[in-house]
Amino acid sequence: PEGTKGLKPVISVIGTGYLGATHAAAMAEMGFDTIGVDIDPSKIEALEAGRVPFFEPGLPELIVKHVGTGRLRFTSDLADAVATADVHFICVGTPQRRGSHAANLSYVEAATKAVAESLSHDGIIVGKSTVPVGTAARLRKLVADSKPEGIETQVVWNPEFLREAHAVDDTLRPDRIVFGGTDAKSEAVLREIYAAPIATGTPVISCDLATAELVKVSANAFLATKISFINAISELCEVAGADVRVLADALGYDDRIGRKFLNAGLGFGGGCLPKDIRALMSRANELGASRVVGLMQEVDEINMQQRQRVIDQAIDACGGSVLNRKLAILGAAFKPDTDDVRDSPALNVAAALHLRGAQVLVVDPEASQTAQRSFPTLSFADSLDEAVTDADVVLLLTEWPVFVNADPTHLAELAANPVVLDARNALDSEVWSSAGWEVRPLGGRTVA
C-alpha cells in the first residue's frame, strides 16, 4: 500500500486528557503501537499503571487491555515518543484565554513545536484539538521553521467529535471522519489508521485545512444554538402557559429538526461548547463575519441566563431569600456520566446560591472530587439521602439516572419541604407530585 509501504505506522498522542487518552486507547484497539505523552507527570503515572485519571465509561478497561498487550504505553518524554513514532496526534487543550473570548493556543503551539523539533525521521503531524480557523496554516509555518533540516513532515487536521460519557464508542465508531489538508501520502496513512471504521462505512470527508477546522467549530456552534433556541422558547412557554416539554416532543418528530438537544433546562457547559462558541465569536470578529459574532453572542447569553433563571427560581422557592436555607444540589458534573466540571452550570448555580448565604449541600455520583478541587468552599454529601435530608428546596441540576430514578416517596420523607426545582426537565412530574412533591420544572408548569 501507499503511505507507510506496508509497515504499520507507530503513533504518538500528545496530550492525554479526555480526548488524548481515549484516542490513544482507540488507536491501540485498532491495532497500532501507540505512545501517549503528557506534560503532567501525575497523569502519565496513573495511565502507566492502567488507571484513568478521570471518569469515562469503558476507558479504563480499554487502557488496561492494551497496556497489557504492550501496544499502548505512556511517557513524559516527548522526544523519545516522537523519535519512535511516525504519526503524531496533537490532542492538547485549547481552553478559553483568560480575560478574552479567544482560544488559548499556547498549548497547541508548544506541543506542535516540540514535536517538530524532536522529529528524527519523516512523519505526519495530525491536529485533533479544536482550533480557530487559520490555526493549522500558522502551525505549518511553525513546523517548517522548527523541524530539523532534511526531515519531511506535513501538518494535517483531523478534528475530533467524541462526546464525553460516550468517548470510547464515539472514537471507535465515529459518525464521520474529517481529513483537512492532506496530500496523497498523508491521506493514505490516515486511511490506513482509520481502516476499521472506514470499512464499516463511516464517511470520510477530505477537505482543505480551513474547512476541517471549521467543521468541528460549526458542529458545536449548531448544537449550542439548538439548546439555546429551545431555552429561549421555554421562556416564552413559561409566560404563555405552554409546556415546553410537550412542545419539544412535538417538534422532535419532524426529522428535519430531531428531538436531540431540544431539552429545555439549565443549558450547556463543559470543556467544549461554551469555550468553542466564544472562540468562534472571537475569530469571526477578527475575520469580519459579524453575523456569526451576533448569533453566537445571543446563544451564549441565553445559555448563561438560564443559570440566572434557576438561581432566581431557587430564591423564589425559598420565599424571597436563600439566606440560611438548606438547599440540596443534585449534580456537579456538567452532564451525567462524566466527572468533568469545567464550566459546569450546576456548580455555577450552587456557588452563586452559596454566596447568597444558602446552606448548599452538593451530591454527585462521580464528580464530587473534581468539583471539590474547583470549589473548595462548597460542601458535598456522600449520598442522595444525605443531601436531601432536611432540605428546604431540592434542585436537580445534572440529570444523572440515579437522581431521575430515585424514589420520590422516600425522598419526600427526608426533605424538610418537598419542593423540587427540576432544572433539567428530567423528572416525571406526575409521579413526583403524587409522592407529595411540588415540582417546578424550568420552562414548564409547576405541578403540586
Cβ atoms < 10 Å from Cβ of 253: 9
Q: Which is nearer to ligand NAD, 334 or 432 (CB)?
A: 334
Of positions 29, 33, 86, 164, contacts ligand NAD by CB under 6 A: 164
By beta-carbon distance, which residue lies closest to ligand NAD? 17
Any binding-site annotation on 335? Answer: yes
Any binding-site annotation on 264? Answer: yes
Helix (H, G, I), strand (E, B) or coil at 399: coil
Of positions 12, 94, 306, 344, contacts ligand NAD by CB under 6 A: 94
Span near ligand NAD by CB under 6 A; candidates 8-16, 183-191, 309-317, 440-448: 8-16
Q: Which is nearer to ligand NAD, 18 or 437 (CB)?
A: 18
Any binding-site annotation on 231? Answer: no
Closest CA to 22 of 39, 34, 6: 34
- Which of 91, 237, 272, 318 is labelled catalytic? 272
The contacts of residue 226 (CB under 8 Å, 6+ apart) are 261, 262
Q: Is 35 in the site for ligand NAD (CB under 6 A)?
A: no
Q: Which helix (H) or strand (E) holds 84?
A: helix 78-84
Any binding-site annotation on 113? Answer: no
Q: Which is nearer to ligand NAD, 117 or 386 (CB)?
A: 117
Q: Is 277 in the site for ligand NAD (CB under 6 A)?
A: no
Q: Is 86 in the site for ligand NAD (CB under 6 A)?
A: no
The three three-digit cell numbers of residue 167, written as one number: 468517548
| Cα(444)–Cα(246) distance, integer angstroms | 9
Q: Is 129 in the site for ligand NAD (CB under 6 A)?
A: yes
- Is residue 272 annotated as a catalytic residue, yes or no? yes
Q: Which is nearer to ligand NAD, 23 or 71 (CB)?
A: 23
Cβ burial of 112 (10 Å; 0-12, 13-18, 19+) is buried
Q: Which helix (H) or strand (E) holds 69?
A: helix 59-69
The contacts of residue 327 (CB under 8 Å, 6+ apart) are 314, 318, 353, 358, 359, 360, 361, 391, 392, 393, 394, 395
Phi, psi for 142 (deg, rounded to 5): -60, -40
Please identify which residue in the block is written with the cell numbers 447569553: 301
Q: Which is nearer to ligand NAD, 107 or 268 (CB)?
A: 107
Q: Is 132 in the site for ligand NAD (CB under 6 A)?
A: no
Site string for ligand NAD, 303-342 (x = CB under 6 A): ----------------------------------------
| Cα(20)–Cα(125) distance, integer angstroms | 14
Q: Using CB under 6 A, count the residues that bind ligand NAD.
A: 27
Q: Is 34 in the site for ligand NAD (CB under 6 A)?
A: no
| Cα(44)–Cα(278) distance, integer angstroms | 31
Q: Is 162 in the site for ligand NAD (CB under 6 A)?
A: yes
Span near ligand NAD by CB under 6 A; candidates 4-12, 157-165, 182-190, 198-206: 157-165
Phi, psi for 253 (deg, rounded to 5): -70, -20
Q: Is 43 in the site for ligand NAD (CB under 6 A)?
A: yes
DSSP 367-394: THHHHHHH-TTSEE-SSHHHHHTT-SEE
Q: Is 343 in the site for ligand NAD (CB under 6 A)?
A: no
Pairing of the two strands 87-90 and 123-127: parallel
CB-CB contact of 192 with 10 (8 Å): no
DSSP3 helix / strand / coil % (the chain, rounded to 5): 45, 15, 40
Q: Which is nearer to ligand NAD, 28 or 411 (CB)?
A: 28
Q: Is 157 in the site for ligand NAD (CB under 6 A)?
A: no
Any binding-site annotation on 421? Answer: no
CB-CB contact of 434 with 428 (8 Å): no
Of positions 11, 14, 25, 328, contacts ligand NAD by CB under 6 A: 14
| Binding site residues, ligand NAD, CB under 6 A | 14-20, 37-40, 43, 91-94, 107, 110-111, 114, 129-130, 160, 162, 164, 271-272
Q: Which residues participate in the annotated binding site for NAD(+)?
A: 38, 43, 94, 130, 164, 275, 342
Q: Which residues participate in the annotated binding site?
A: 38, 43, 94, 130, 161-164, 216, 261-265, 269, 275, 335, 342
Residues marked active site are found at: 272
